Structure formats: C-alpha cells, structure tokens
Amino acid sequence: MRKLINKSTLLAVTFIAFGLSSNAQINAKTKKAQKDTEAWKYEIECVGIGKPGTKVIKVWSYSKRAKVATAQAKKNAVHGLIFQGYSGGGQGCTNQKALVTDPSVGEQKKEFFDNFFDINGGKYMKFVSHSSDSTPEVIGVKIKGYKFKVGVIVTVNTSALRKDLEAAGVIRGLSSGF
C-alpha cells in the first residue's frame, strides 16, 4: 500500500511540475511576443478584397524568432489598419487610410489600446483571422536585432473594427460629419 501511495504521489507531483513548467514556458513566450511587438515593427500590404466589410492583407512582422513574428501577425494587422493604413495594389486593392487620423490618439487612449492589444485575449482577436490557404513566408534578415521577417496573410473585418472603435469613442463615426 505504501509503495502505491508513493508511486501515486510521485506521479502526481511529476504532472504538476510538468504543468507548471509548461505554463512558465507559455508565459515566457507570451512575454517575449509582447516585448517584440512593443515597437510595432511591421509592414502591411493589400493582397485582395474579401467578403464585404473585410480586407485581406499581408503582414510582414519582424522578430528574433520566426514563430513569434508569425504569432504576432494578427495583432500587427489590426494595429496597421488602425494607425497606418496602406497603399493600393493589385487585385482590386485601393488605398486604405488609417482608421485613426490623429497620431496622438494612441497616447490619449493608451489604457484602451493596452487592453485592446493584450496578448492574453485582447479584443483585437475578434476582428482578424489567418487565411486558411496561407503558409507563412519566412525571410532571414539582419536589422537592428531582428533576425526574421515573416509574411502572413490575414483577413480583417474592418467594418466591425470601425464600429467598435466608434462605440469606444476612439474614432468619430462616418455619419458624424466634419
């Protein structure tokens, strides 16, 4: 009986330790991903028009690790549409102005955007999805500490994103006039 208890206890402790180790690794990767995107180092380009109210874009993210850059693609895509916009291109793409026209809004609404872009369930996730037929394009680069430039195609629901930002008072509605 005593051996059974010891083996059971040892097995339980092993599972708990493995679980804690896995959580620590996930938290470390999450913190690394968050740190890599604090500078918002990315490029976006239009690759096509999706369903009404959506944009299909390619996001080029930079990081020391390719997996981190790939994981941050959705976040960078939404950030790019809010603050940067993009030039028109092929396949029916037209110029897309940034949703936020005043550059100081990022600092004025810092708390909102910190929560909105939180790596652990930030609201930005409800507006974006990976394109199912896309494989990340990885390019090795050497730019100020970055080793990889990773291109990922994502779809962003710009209509819903705009409505959410209007409801939060971050941007003015299209019907509010000049």
Contact 148, 62 (CB under 8 A): yes
Listed by start position, the domains of the chain span 36-172
Q: In degrees rounded to 5, what are phi and psi of residue 102?
A: -100, 115
Residues contacting 30, CB < 8 A, separation 6+:
119, 120
Q: How many CB atoms lie within 10 A of CB 72?
A: 25
pLDDT computed for residue 11 by the predictor: 43
2-49 pLDDT per residue, tens:
554 555 444 444 444 444 444 455 456 556 555 655 678 899 999 888
Question: CA 79, CA 136: separation in Å to the nearest integer?
Answer: 19
Torsion sign over Cα 23, 26, 29, 35: negative
Output Rg (C-alpha) for the chain, integer angstroms.
Answer: 21
pLDDT one-digit tens code per residue, 60-91 = 998 888 888 888 989 999 999 999 999 887 67
For residue 27, what is the enclosing H or E element?
Answer: helix 2-37
The Cα 66–Cα 74 span in angstroms is 14
